[in-house]
Structure 1
């Protein structure tokens, strides 16, 4: 599958998102923070005109 992410890249990305305050994690269980949700909403709204 060409779009598959390597596990190592996922954890690097999640660590960066956590440092930015966009996700929180505990025992490799991650959840979006309020800021992370808002960033996702903003991204989707920016993409809406492209759909």
Structure 2
């Protein structure tokens, strides 16, 4: 299993979307499977005290 780093979508860094990407490979299967999901936080960080 190969796991890459989080990638920010092109645009303004403060309002960029985080994308989680996983590539799964197996020595017994010829094809690689790639799973891409949009990371949606459950709350806005630092918005409450």
Bin of the TM-score, shorter chain as denominator length: under 0.3
Greater fraction of residues in helix? 1
Greater fraction of residues in strand? 2
Q: Tell me the TM-score normalized by structure 1.
A: 0.22
